[in-house]
Amino acid sequence: MSDNEFSYLSEKILEAKIHDSPYPHIEIENFLSPEHFQKIIQDNQIHFEECADTKDLLKKLKEKSYEVITFPGCNTDLKMYLKSLETGEWKHGTRGNPIESYGVTLRLMKYENDFLSRLVEYMNGKEFESSMKKKFGIEERTEIISAVQKNLTRYEISPHPDVSKKCMTYLLNINKEEAEKYDVHTHMLKFKKEYEYVYETWEKGDFEREWVPWDWCDTVKRHTKNNSIIMFTPSHRTLHAVKMDYPHTKFQRTQIYGNLMYPGRDVKKYRKNKHHDLKAE
């Protein structure tokens, strides 16, 4: 390891226990040191005072250098989003997926705090990337992306194992303390017995892995703890999901969200399928 101030994060990954249920993953509590964690959550780009309403929140986030991004389970049309919040009417089944609502995801694009900038730079660097790949035995070439993101209310992604081009998914909670009281967290799931045949369908590699209905699955655990990170390498079993309805003017679900991607992987060989194509005969 280098003598970087954040090298201890990579050491924690290498030393972490791999949990088997509901699929191989690591979960590390108190990932950032207490001093580092306090610097993050006390930063006024990360957390700030309660907003009057959603329009005020979106204005505040823009002022703080957050930008709306294209993200699964979300919409970039803010007028449509605001109207849905006002009327309670949501366009169900966006892009054919079995979801009942959609949210907005914003990514922090410019860091005013040098400490936060250094942390995100480290989490986009080779040492951090190498520690994950070594932990999970990944040898193929990858590209890394880590960023501070906020997910606003009604964000939903139904159970899915991630697409075949994704090598690693990792989520670090950097929320306000009250976030633990709300269901804004990632669910880790497994198929109910009557739907376990889908594992075999995906394992054959004929289909791209798609989203499936919530009622096909059972939640095994939720990633709720603040300053904890979960990390797994996607496979046909790595079902995870999120569905939230919470007062985002008081606080926002905030994470350092990251992925490793396979830049050269040929995904054209995978046929597309939707959840209704996976139903047993």
Q: Model-level pTM greater than 0.85?
A: yes
Per-residue pLDDT at 264: 72
pLDDT at 209: 82
Q: What is the rounded CA–CA span in Å between residue 8 and residue 13?
A: 9
Q: How far apart are the first and last CA of the chain?
A: 53
The whole-number pLDDT of residue 255 equals 98
Integer angstrom CA distances of residue 210 from 71, 149, 156, 198, 236: 15, 23, 14, 11, 10
**pLDDT tens digits, one per residue of 4-18:** 999 999 999 999 999
The 10 Å Cβ neighbour count of residue 157 is 21
Q: In what order do the strands lie in the sheet with 66-69?
A: 26-28, 229-232, 166-173, 253-261, 143-151, 105-108, 66-69
Q: For position 196, what pLDDT does the model report?
A: 94
- Look up tokens 């907005």; give the residue: 104
| pLDDT digit string, tens, across residues 178-214 | 898 898 999 999 999 999 999 988 888 766 788 999 9
Residue 129 confidence (pLDDT): 97
pLDDT value at residue 3 = 86
Q: Residue 195: helix, strand or coil by DSSP?
A: helix
Confidence (pLDDT) at 44: 95
User: What parts of the chain have a pLDDT lower than 70?
Assistant: 92-96, 206-207, 265-281
